Copies of this chain bind each other. A is one copy, B any other.
Amino acid sequence: MERRHGQVGRPRSEQARTAVLRAVDDQLLEVGYAAMTMKGIAERAGVSRQTVYRWWSTKAEILFEASAVDAEQELAVEPTGEPVDDLTAYVAALVDFLARSPAGAAYRALLGEAQHDPAVADLLATKDVLGDSARTVIEGVLGAGAGAGPVPVGEATALLIGPAFFWVLSGRDPARLAPRELAETFLRELRARGRH
C-alpha cells in the first residue's frame, strides 16, 4: 500500500495553472482589481471554478503569484560603477513600476488591500519586493556590509523609496518626478551622516 517515490494520482495541469495566472493579469488590466472575481478569472482562463479554488484561496494570492516574478525583474538595475547613475536608474525603474507597469498595478492593488485586509498583509510580508530591490542597489553602491555603517539599510531603503512611493500612491503625476534629484538627495544624505 505504501508508495515510496513518485507522485500519486493525476498530476496537476500546468496548462490550467498558467491559464489562471494569465487570466488574472488580463482581468486586472481590463476590469480592475475591484471588479475582478474568482468566477470571472475561472471563466476567462477556461478553467473550472473548483480548480481555481483548489490551488488558490483568494484573488490576491493569484495576483501575487502572477506578478511577483515580473516585479523583481522590473526593479533590477544593472550596476554601472557610478553611484548616482545606479540610484537614478533605480528610482526611475521604481516610478515606472509603480505608476506604469501592469505588475506595478498589481502590486499597488495588493498593497492597497493589505491596508485593510490582514490576510493580504501577511501575503505581502512573505516577500518584500520593494525593500529587497532597494537594498540590492544600495549595497551595490556602498559595497556589501554597508548596513554596518552609519545608516541602517532598512532606514536607507525608506529614504530612497519613500518620496517616489508617496508621490505615486497619493495620486500625484509621476511625470513631474525627477529621479536624478531624488538620487542625489539620497547620496548627499548618506555622506552627511557618514561625517558624524
How far is A131 from B108 in the complex, measured between Cα atoms in Å? Answer: 20
Q: Is the CB of B116 within 8 A of A34?
A: yes
Q: Is the CB of A113 within 8 A of B111?
A: no
Choice from B117, B118, B170, B192 contacting A128 with Cβ under 8 Å: B170
Give residues 34-59 of A contacting B (CB, 8 Å): 34
Q: Which of A14-22, A79-87, A159-167 contacts B (4 or more CB under 8 A)?
A: A159-167
Give residues 85-140 of A contacting B (CB, 8 Å): 105, 108-109, 111-118, 121, 124-125, 128, 130-131
Give, as a whole number of angstroms, the nearest-CB distance from A122 to chain B. 9
Q: Which residue of B lies closest to A186 (CB)?
A: B189
**A154 on the B face (CB < 8 A):** yes
**Copies of the polypeptide in the assembly:** 4
Give, as a whole number of angstroms, the nearest-CB distance from A170 to chain B. 7
Interface magnitude class on chain A: 35 or more
Q: Is the CB of A159 within 8 A of B170?
A: no
**A171 on the B face (CB < 8 A):** yes
Choice from B32, B105, B131, B170 contacting A170 with Cβ under 8 Å: B131
Contacts of A33 in B (CB 8 A): 115-117
Give, as a whole number of angstroms, the nearest-CB distance from A104 to chain B. 10
Contact surface of A with B, Cβ cutoff 8 Å: 32-34, 105, 108-109, 111-118, 121, 124-125, 128, 130-131, 154-155, 158-159, 161-167, 169-172, 176, 178, 181, 185, 188-189, 192
